[in-house]
């Protein structure tokens, strides 16, 4: 985004790009803190099945949305296989599916909330 120009300016100079990347960087930090916290809890032998299910669906959904938002910043080039973001976007479709789909993760969380 710093290199590519649109309307004579780098895409990174548009406030929308700056806000988008600031938001995504913030969400990555939040996700990292959540996962780090769960790792500590796991090492301490705590029962974190519900929280891990939350983290699995939330973090993988974030990855999918994040790569889509970043691909958008590349414009049409983002769709081209020569650009790594294209592969990142395709790869991000898998984590919400494998290891138990995100819908099943939510079933586990709902059960823990006494809803199912
Ligand atoms: C790249 C890749 C690698 C894999 N590696 C492994 C591996 O190493 N070992 C292994 O054992 N498996 C592996 N899998 C399989 C993976 O775990 C399954 O794909 C996954 O558990 C989903 O099962 P399914 O594909 O049968 O989908 P289905 O169970 O048929 O689900 C289809 C859709 O229905 C939804 N759904 C199903 N049941 C419910 C429900 N009760 N409530 C709400 N929605 C529901 C799902 O969320 C999904 O959206 C891998 C899959 C992929 C894509």
Angle CA 95–64–98, to nearest 5: 10
Averaged pLDDT for residues 62-73 = 98
Averaged pLDDT for residues 1-28 = 96
Residue found by looking up tokens 């029962």 in the block: 47
Q: Is the CB of 95 under 6 A from ligand 1?
A: no
Model's pTM, two decimal places? Answer: 0.93
Q: Which residues, including other chains, have CB under 8 Å from residue 55's CB and lie 6 or more apart?
A: 31, 34, 35, 38
Give me the helix-helix angle, 49-73 and 15-43, nearest 10°: 160
- In sequence order, which ranges of 8-76 are alpha helices (DSSP H)? 15-43, 49-73
Q: Is the CB of 107 under 6 A from ligand 1?
A: yes
Cβ-based neighbour number of residue 34 at 10 Å: 15
pLDDT bucket at 116, cuts 50 / 70 / 90: confident
Q: Is the CB of 11 under 6 A from ligand 1?
A: no
């Amino acid at each position: 985004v710093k290199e590519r120009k649109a309307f004579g300016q780098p895409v990174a100079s548009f406030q929308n790009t700056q806000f988008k990347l600031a938001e995504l960087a913030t969400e990555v930090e939040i996700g990292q803190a959540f996962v780090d916290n769960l790792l500590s809890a796991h090492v301490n032998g705590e029962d974190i099945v519900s929280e891990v299910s939350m983290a699995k669906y939330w973090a993988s959904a974030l990855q999918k949305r994040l790569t889509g938002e970043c691909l958008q910043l590349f414009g049409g080039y983002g769709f081209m296989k020569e650009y790594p973001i294209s592969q990142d976007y395709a790869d991000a479709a898998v984590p919400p599916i494998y290891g138990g789909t995100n819908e099943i993760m939510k079933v586990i969380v709902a059960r823990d909330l006494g809803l199912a």
